[in-house]
Structure 1
Amino acid sequence: MNNIHRPVLLAEAVTALIDAPLLQDQVHKIVMIDGTFGRGGHSQLLLSKLDSNARLIAFDKDLDAIAVAKKILDPRFSIIHSSFAQMNQYAEPESIDGILLDLGISSPQVDEAHRGFSFRRDGPLDMRMNTDQGITAAEWLEQAPQEEITKVIKAYGEERFASQIAKAIVAKREEGLSPKTTLQLANLVASVVRTREPGQDPATRTFQALRIFINRELEDLEQGLKAALSLLKPGGRLAVISFHSLEDRIVKQFLQAHAKVEVPRGLPVREKDLPQSVLEIIGRVRPSKEELEENPRARSAIMRVAEKRMGALA
């Protein structure tokens, strides 16, 4: 079992934040946020690049990640057991120089069967990032209406066999055999999904959907992006690494919406008189060929970077 976590786009993400023009002539204390600590790869590299007067605040919902973070004895570093969606409760508006959101789940979360994320290793069907709160995937499948199960699997997994999968789950439930483990669910899905993309397990989309739903991942992302915009100083940067189209679409649309100025149609305003947009989109980065060879799990990653304009009002 290989549960070593390799941070995706590690150097690229840190460089995107550190290279912000705002930081080149800084004389005050730099404050950064790592919104998803994971196993600390991005945080550790950031700390190695920041001076002794800097501060790095990290967030994570996963208690295993918190345990790893607490082993970092650097006085510049602090970890908060919470979602990045709540980061504006821990910092003042326009007080942060850079924010990184890595939306992927860590390799240990996938590879450790007891977490319930893997359809290849048998374990309790849990799927909660924060095992201190909320219901497990098994508990939800035990009581959710068939229509709701269909909606979740279709919306969050983009699964075309969602209705058939939901029907099979409910049928098993009525027999008193509601799936309680990851392999029970994976095998049930495989019995219904007859075709799938080459190399993709039939249960991939269903497991993705349940994980996103149980952890409110897309709601947290939308809330976290708004919080990040308010927390960034003018000139500060936001870097977001996403791993599937649902996340990336939200990030892309959010950045685009704040990188343009809406002017009512027909209003006689010259371009030079338009108010300034809040964000400037810096770029989009995909993993290199070398990284993909070392870490195939990075294949779907996309990082989008934007900078808060000087003088902009969020």
Structure 2
Amino acid sequence: MHTPVLLKEVVELLEAGPDKKIIDTTFGEGGHSKALLAAGANVLAIDRDITQISNFKLQISKGSLILKQGNFRDIVAIAKAADFAPVDGILFDLGLSYEQLKTGGKGLSYKNMNEPLDMRLDDSCVTTAEQILRQYTEKNLAHMFMHNAEEILAAPLAKHILIQRVGQEQLTVGWLVGVVNSVAKSNPRPTLTRVFQALRVEVNNEFENLEQALKGALSLLGPKGKVAVISFHSLEDRIVKRFIREHGYIQIGKKPIFGDKGLRFERSAVLRVFHV
């Protein structure tokens, strides 16, 4: 298991402790849930990816754990079905787990060259990343790269994809990496990161799901309940920041908490904690 992001800060700011009820909406490999349980909290943990839940094994000595497969946009229905409301805290960690990136086999990382471009986090997603790359028009591809990742090379990337996809039997990670490398020749790595982000967001409707989940989360909080959101790129953080502002919620601290720049897996993390 890789080290969960901003672990100490999450446990402290959500005030995890005995008899507290906390929802971990993005269970992953269980790192945050494990720490919340160790503090004595009762945890309802949710994850879209059924393999993340199936692979988890833990001897629980404190608190209690309920594991549910599902999309956090359905947080209200999931919590009520588990009789787990009101709650004292809700955590959203919007990053992918180490296992999903390294061994998931779905083309989520540009480093796994032989993997197919699937990117679906659960079976509710109908369209794969490969289908998007094959079916979208040049205009729609460019819009996706710009809207989902603010990629400045969106237009030339879209144009090149249309050319290169012709006659290709299968579009793999390696194929897409080659396309990006041919457009972003001098420094392809940042563009690769944004292209894969844009596709993953599109396949899984991530921005819409986050907005829906935040609305639902507030209806589950008890009188002193708090929501913690860890985001990994500016577009996610912008959604959270706007949600707090538009609904008049109170953020703990004038500025968010940033991840350790010296840690590769944490350097882009931003934590915002807020309450009614």
TM-score, with normalisation over the residues of structure 1? Answer: 0.79
Q: Give the CA deviation at 1:195.
A: 4.3
Identical aligned residues as a percent = 39
Partner of 1:150: 142
Q: Give the CA deviation at 1:133.
A: 4.0
Q: Structure 1 stretch 222-231 or stretch 125-134: which is displaced more?
A: 125-134
Runs of 4+ in structure 1 off by over 3 angstroms are 72-75, 194-197
Candidates 79, 83, 108, aligned match of 2:71 = 83
Candidates 158, 165, 176, aligned match of 2:167 = 176
Residue 47 of structure 2 corresponds to residue 43 of structure 1: no
Report the Cα distance in structure 1 between the residues aligned to 2:143 and 2:215, rounded to whole angstroms: 26
Q: Give the CA deviation at 1:241.
A: 0.3
What SS does the corresponding residue of 1:241 show, helix, strand or coil?
A: strand
Report the Cα distance in structure 1 between the residues aligned to 2:184 and 2:201, rounded to whole angstroms: 20
Give the greater-gyration-radius structure (CA): 1
Q: How many residues align?
A: 268
Give the letter aligned to residue 75 of structure 2.
Answer: M
Report the Cα distance in structure 2 between the residues aligned to 1:131 and 1:188, rounded to whole angstroms: 28
What SS does the corresponding residue of 2:271 show, helix, strand or coil?
A: strand
Partner of 2:251: 281
Distance 1:187 1:42, change over 3 A: same
Partner of 1:312: none
Q: Deviation string for 1:89-117 (max 9, x for gaps)?
A: 02359611100000011122222262201
Kept in 1: contact 2:21–2:89 (CA 8 A): yes
Candidates 92, 105, 109, aligned match of 2:96 = 105
Q: Deviation string for 1:42-77 (max 9, x for gaps)?
A: 000000112xxx5311111112211134x3454811
Q: Give the CA deviation at 1:5.
A: 2.1
Q: Give the CA deviation at 1:79.
A: 1.2
Give the letter aligned to residue 234 of structure 2.
Answer: S
Candidates 245, 250, 267, aligned match of 1:256 = 245
Residue 49 of structure 2 corresponds to residue 62 of structure 1: yes
Report the Cα distance in structure 2 between the residues aligned to 1:90 and 1:202, rounded to whole angstroms: 37
Give the letter aligned to residue 62 of structure 1.
Answer: D
- Which residues in structure 2 correspond to 1:123-162 (within 5 Å)? 123-131=115-123, 133-162=125-154
Q: Give the CA deviation at 1:85.
A: 0.9
> Which runs of no fewer than 5 residues in structure 2 stay unpaired?
none
